[in-house]
Amino acid sequence: MSQSREQLARQLAEAVAEALRADLAERERALLVVSGGSTPVPFFEALAAMDLPWSRVDVTLADERWVAEDADDSNARLVRAHLMQGPAAAATFVPLTSAAATPEEGVTEVSERLAALTWPASVVILGMGGDGHTASLFPDSQELGLALSTADSVVAVRTPSQPQPRITLSADRLHRCPRHFLHITGEEKRTVLGRALAGDDTRALPIRAFLAGPLGIYWAP
Ligand SMILES: O=C(O)[C@H](O)[C@@H](O)[C@H](O)[C@H](O)COP(=O)(O)O
């Protein structure tokens, strides 16, 4: 019998907590990179309640919509509401937006902010859309090729399928981590992942940029 989404969230939270503890035994600070969207909420809430040296943990995003932090579709708002709570409130959240009007104008400041963190990240949590995007690496984005190839840490992204301009960690920066976990739910995403595993055109299904390496896949119906 397949597990529930709540059980999956707890299982993922335990794996992430274990990874953070392992790294914090070796280094002063540890970095957790999370994705936004709707799937992560039960995972965020399970992780937030865990007993960790949270004051030594930095949390940032794999991508962000270029909106104010109090906007309904802000990933920063989602993380502050569901992860930066309880014990995890002692962690440091590092947002991916700035006061600049556009992500193109903000990438330098955000890149400098990220440079001060402890890379490689301990863990990267990826989500996936029904179009096979992950972070803000979208198939229909004109910046996809850049985001897949640049050594820069962040890329401004404009995508016809998305209402807001975005900023995303580049594939290179997302790869700078020994642990990647893909957190997806539902039959549609299971089917998309199956298609991604069966092919090699990363521009068509950008999640493919992360399937060649070690990837923990956390899926529930
Ligand atoms: O900013 C975002 O939306 C996320 O970072 C994005 O990459 C997300 O992981 C997928 O779009 C899946 O979103 P759902 O969990 O809402 O299906």
Closest CA to 12 of 33, 37, 40, 36: 40
Instruction: Pick the atom of ligand 1 nearest to 184's CA.
Output: 15
pLDDT of 84-136, one tens digit each? 999 999 999 999 999 999 999 999 999 999 999 999 999 999 999 999 999 99
Torsion, CA 105, CA 137, CA 128, CA 161, rounded to 10: 80
Instruction: Pick the atom of ligand 1 nearest to 39's CA.
Output: 15
pLDDT of 47-93, one tens digit each? 999 999 999 999 999 999 999 999 999 999 999 999 999 999 999 99
Regarding an ipTM greater than 0.90, the answer is: yes
The response to whether residue 206 sits with its C-beta less than 6 Å from ligand 1 reads no
Which residues touch 23 (CB under 8 Å, ≥6 apart)?
30, 122
pLDDT of 136-180, one tens digit each? 999 999 999 999 999 999 999 999 999 999 999 999 999 999 999
Decide if pLDDT at 35 tops 70.
yes
In the 8-state DSSP scheme, what is residue 207? G
pLDDT of 173-219, one tens digit each? 999 999 999 999 999 999 999 999 999 999 999 999 999 999 999 99
Beta bridge mates, 208: none
The response to whether residue 159 sits with its C-beta less than 6 Å from ligand 1 reads no
The response to whether residue 62 sits with its C-beta less than 6 Å from ligand 1 reads yes
The response to whether residue 129 sits with its C-beta less than 6 Å from ligand 1 reads yes
Q: CA-CA distance, 6 to 66, in Å (whole number)?
A: 30
Backbone angles phi, psi at 162, to 5 degrees: -120, 135
The response to whether residue 135 sits with its C-beta less than 6 Å from ligand 1 reads yes
Torsion, CA 181, CA 187, CA 190, CA 192, rounded to 10: -120
Q: What is the pLDDT of residue 3?
A: 84
Q: What is the pLDDT of residue 1?
A: 59
For residue 168, the CA-to-ligand 1 centroid distance in Å is 12
- HSE-CB of 82 using CA atoms within 13 angstroms: 21
Distances (CA, A) of 61 to 127, 136, 191: 11, 11, 26
For residue 37, the CA-to-ligand 1 centroid distance in Å is 4
| 3-state SS assignment for residue 198 | helix
